[in-house]
Amino acid sequence: MSENQSVDPSSPSKRDWTVRHSDADEFAEAGRVFGQSLLIPDDIDSMLERMRLLHDALGYERLLVAVDEAEGDQEVIGTTNHFPFEMTMPGGRVPVAGVTGVGVWPTHRRQGVLSALMRRQLADIHADGVRYAALWASEGSIYERFGYGNACTELETSLTRPHSALRADAPRDPDLRVVLREPERVRTDLERVHEAVSANQVGQFRRTKPWWDRTLFDGPGRREDKGPLIAAVVGNAEGPLGYALYRTKAKWDEGGAQGEVHVQEITATTPAAWTALLEHLFSRDLVAKVFLPTLPADCPLHHLLLDRGRAVATHYPSLWVRLVDLAGALSERPYAAPFEGVLAVTDRHAPWNAGRWRIKADTEGARVELTEAEPDLSLDVHHLGAAHLGQTPLTGFLRAGLITEHTPGTVARLDAALHRFDAPFCGVIF
């Protein structure tokens, strides 16, 4: 999702263009714009073959395009789309618009095309009664302008032998068994575990059949120089408790085998299941290094390692959240502590959110209503989006001078109310 931020002096002056809904027949043109704007190396046919598997199942009615009408032409110069999700938010599973496929043709950037697309998309989402939008951003500075805040940080790490040894007191259950199968053979087990985890882990969305098809798709482009996707499932007599989807890569040098394990996804419902999966991955013969690129910030891994300093974690921004219906989103969210105050909120692209909002919140939810009272805190809607999942405190924005506290202590009280002890996690770039 990218629009170049610099001005290209070779760009032509703004021409007439409009934003409208599109369809499956025009998807190739939208894909062409998206691929070029994100520098995707695949040719258009290969890219569309991969993308249509999901879009055919979920529909094209949410696809928006900007078209250049110069001299009667209908050239697509910008595009955005969104998927309908049931995502777990602090108040439980709710509808969320998963924004995707955003791009502007390079010769038309910095002419307001992206702004028009974003405004139209927000209006459509709001008209549908959906209170949230979410996305993954290639350039985060773009989406703050449109009210999205980085609400989730995930981590990647890798381990080399012998530093992958787990603690002696790591929870182990002799009744657990790990089986290794082709993913489709154990798909029901994968679905069962993911449903149990995603129902309670903020940031995850319910994975329907089209999304499982995408997750388990194992074409040559997905494998690159690695082996086929394989599934390790751990469970007991009562059923599956966790799984890891991964690929292996054979490597050798003068020192012998230097094979690699590349984990696409790992999750479990019990501590002992986490231990069993990690020990399976770390004990593969001929393997010297294990890569885990997508983990929640509170993943058990680092606590289970004998020498946790050997797994250096790189934290990166993942899910960006947009409160499309600010009052509705804040009303249905439970709070960790009571809070009462007036927030003066700016929202350039969703004016129905702008104003002074009185919030009276407790552990069950909140009453949110417009007021003429003096504000205790002034901020933008993207700050609230960043804080909504409970991982990003507003205190950092205050210390940076990006929000204004009129009543001392308001930010500390609001942070305490919004905080969650469990880290949000999405794990799927959409």
**Distance of alpha carbon 246 from alpha carbon 163, whole angstroms:** 20
Overall average pLDDT of the 280-304 stretch:
96
Amino acid at site 361: A
Whether 63 contacts 103, CB under 8 Å? no
Q: How confident is the model at residue 71 (pLDDT cuts 50, 70, 90)?
A: low
Strands 339-346 and 377-380: what pairing?
parallel
9-25 pLDDT per residue, tens: 334 445 578 999 999 99
- Quick one: DSSP state of residue 205? B
**Distance of alpha carbon 264 from alpha carbon 270, whole angstroms:** 20
3-state helix, strand, coil in the chain (%, to 5): 30, 35, 35
pTM of the predicted model over 0.75: yes
The sign of the dihedral angle between the CA atoms of 411, 417, 423, 427 is negative
Distance of CA 2 to the CA centre of its chain: 16
pLDDT value of residue 4: 36
Reply yes or no on whether the pLDDT at 375 is more than 70: yes
Range with the lowest mean pLDDT among 254-258, 268-272, 294-298?
A: 254-258
Q: How confident is the model at residue 53 (pLDDT cuts 50, 70, 90)?
A: confident
**Distance of alpha carbon 395 from alpha carbon 321, whole angstroms:** 18
pLDDT value of residue 10: 38
Q: What distances in angstroms separate CA 33 from CA 30, 62, 77, 102, one per listed residue?
A: 5, 17, 7, 9
